[in-house]
Structures are given as structure tokens and as C-alpha cells.
Chains A and B, each alone.
Chain A
């Protein structure tokens, strides 16, 4: 049985999202760095694996899967000893609610602001208007997060789930780019600081890399 292969970009948000979950679950994997700067991921050869021309995708002994959150869910389900994806009826519903909150209420503004702030930190041109506009949107969303997290430890309840971990890449980009938006409110700060200190997140500070021993 060959090791899982994660085809991605070592510095990319979505690749790191998957790597973080693989690390949390102590699943060995090989990172296969995909070249992308010259349109390689738009070629017919690549599109056969990922029809939208995006990274990452997973190759589990010939089983191909894309969409970082779907890959995370697959890995969590396969290694069923993890509580990262609750299965009991109501706990599962609250998990799905939390996962949908991340998709609908965090990712849109955090990714737009985060990407601009990251580029600015890398010395590249950055659109200040987008940053201002999107951080204003995120600010309002985090008011609701504060309310939720004042009542419970994590987004889906008292245990950590994939829904919390999904936030890491763009929450980190926004913070790395110089905004303190994630630490302005006591409960959001508590939750964010715990996530950002997890060994699984810290492991890939310098980029995602092949991990076969934990």
C-alpha cells in the first residue's frame, strides 16, 4: 500500500489546509510539488486529474480526490478513530452548520483580504480598497463568531472538529499580513490562538513537506 500522495504547492493555503489535517491525524503523506507558474495546471494532462485546473488533489493508491475540504473529510472518515468529524445525528448537524459557517461567513472575506495582505507582505502590489472593504465584512462576521464562541469552546460544540481547522490558512494570512482582527475579541482570540499553536499547523510554517514519520 503506497503512501498517500498530496499534489499541491508547498506554500499554498489549500494545500496547507489538507496537510494540517493529515498531520493532526498522523497520516503519512508525500507532497508532490506541482509547478504552476507557466500554466502547467491548465494543461490537458493536469485537467485529467483536477478538471478545474486547481490544487491540491490527493492520490490514494489510484483514488483521486480534489477540493481541500473534501480531502480533509475523506481522511478524517477513513481514520475513523478521530473525533474531527462527528457522526451522531445532532452532533453531525451542528458540525455541518459550523463547516457551512466557514464556507459562507469566513472564507469569502478572509480569503480576499488575506490574499491581498499576504501579497503586500511579500512586497507585491496589493489592493488597499479590497483589504479595507473585506476586513469590514469580516469584522461583522466575527461579532457572530464571538457570540458563538462565548457559549462553547469550538464552532461545532465542545470538541475540535474539521470546521475549526478549515479556518486556519486564511485566518493566518490575515494575521501574517498585519491585521489584528482575529485577536480583537476575547473568545475569538482564545479560539484562534489555540488553533494557531497546534503542532499540526506549526509543522508547515516553512511550507508543506513530505511527512512519513510522526
Chain B
């Protein structure tokens, strides 16, 4: 039975899963969940937080986009790029991969998604973006990007020389930097401070799985 992905194309969390499905060339069927329909009882039994996406893999239900991505990569090791360190590399390499995943989750995602909520979600629901808050968040993001530079000036990707899920997880929000007026990688003065990060970010959004 083809894997079913319950979500919405406009949702960055759904996009995160679609990205991995494309990278791994895994067949799937997207079941569109309309905006505002997450908390229907028949959905809550599968996803108790009334969020999307979630998958149904032949009766096995899983939610949280990053957990789904890990599951897919483990389930299809022979398809496409490995995207995770192979078991043979040992606990230390595995730990550096987990470190990189944690960096995305705690040092990138919360700050960037907050900025995007101000710039994109608020106008959508008729509210005014809080510019002071955006300024504070941007300063925080700049500090974090300086951290990323320290890492990416020494290795090609976040967990080493091969691309992994830790890098790919950034893509959905990176693709919204333009629309969200985040100039971290378009402002020349800023790019001078983190050239390796800019290189890495631009390369990620150019991946075939993103462009298709």
C-alpha cells in the first residue's frame, strides 16, 4: 500500500517530509488536509496536537516531520542518498549528527519561524507585524549564524563532509527567507560575516528535490 502523507503543500512541516520523500524517491500519496480541518475527531485520533503532517505507512501512524523523516530514511536505506551516518561509523559520528540535528531544532528553527510568523502569518490573519520583536529576533539570528559560520567554515555540512537530514531540515524555512524579508544571505555586509553559511544555504535550496 502506498504511503499516505496527510498535510498541506503550503505547510513548511509538510514540505520537510515531501523533501525527504523526493530525496529518497519514495512513492507517496498526499492527502490534502484543508486549513482549519486539523482538529476533526477522525484526525485527532491520529495526531492529538491537531497538527499536520502525519503519515500512514500501511497502518503505522507517525507524526512530527523530523521523526517521519528519520523513519523514512531508516525504512529505505537503499533508495537515494543515505542522509544519516551509517551504523558502521560508531557512536561518536552518530553523536555529531545528533548535535547537528539539535542545532537546527534549537538554534535555527525557533528564531526563524518566529520571524516568519511576524512577517507572513500575522498579515495573513489581519494582524500587524511587531517590528521591535522582529529586530530582537533578527539580532538573535545573526548571533546564531555566527555560530553556524564557526562550524561550516570547518566542514562542508553540519555533521561533516556529507549532507544529512540535519542540513536538509533547514530547507523549508530557508526557502521563505525572500518572502519573509530575512536578508541574512542577500545583504552583502551580512554575507561577509558568514560566507560559508551563505554558500551552504544557497546550495541547499538549489537541490533537485527542492526545485522540482
Contact = CB atoms under 8 A, between A and B. Distances in A.
Asked if A and B bind, the verdict is: yes
Given A52-B107, A73-B95, A100-B64, 6 more contacts: A65-B96, A67-B103, A70-B98, A73-B98, A96-B70, A97-B63
Nearest to B69: A96
A137 to B, nearest CB: 12
A63 B95 CA distance: 10
Nearest to B66: A100
A53 B142 CA distance: 13
A154 B180 CA distance: 38
A65 B50 CA distance: 35
Interface of B: 44, 48-50, 60, 62-67, 70-71, 74-75, 91-92, 94-96, 98-99, 101-103, 105-107, 110, 143-144, 147-148, 150-151
A51 to B, nearest CB: 4
Interface stretch (A5-13, A18-26, A86-94): A86-94
A147 interface: yes
Interface string A66-84: 1111110110011000000
B91 A103 contact: no
20 contacts: A47-B150, A51-B148, A65-B95, A65-B96, A66-B99, A70-B99, A71-B95, A73-B98, A74-B91, A77-B95, A78-B91, A89-B75, A96-B64, A99-B67, A103-B66, A104-B64, A108-B110, A144-B50, A147-B44, A147-B48
Given A65-B95, A67-B98, A93 B71 contact: yes
A contacts with B: majority SS: helix
A78 B91 CA distance: 7
A66 B186 CA distance: 30
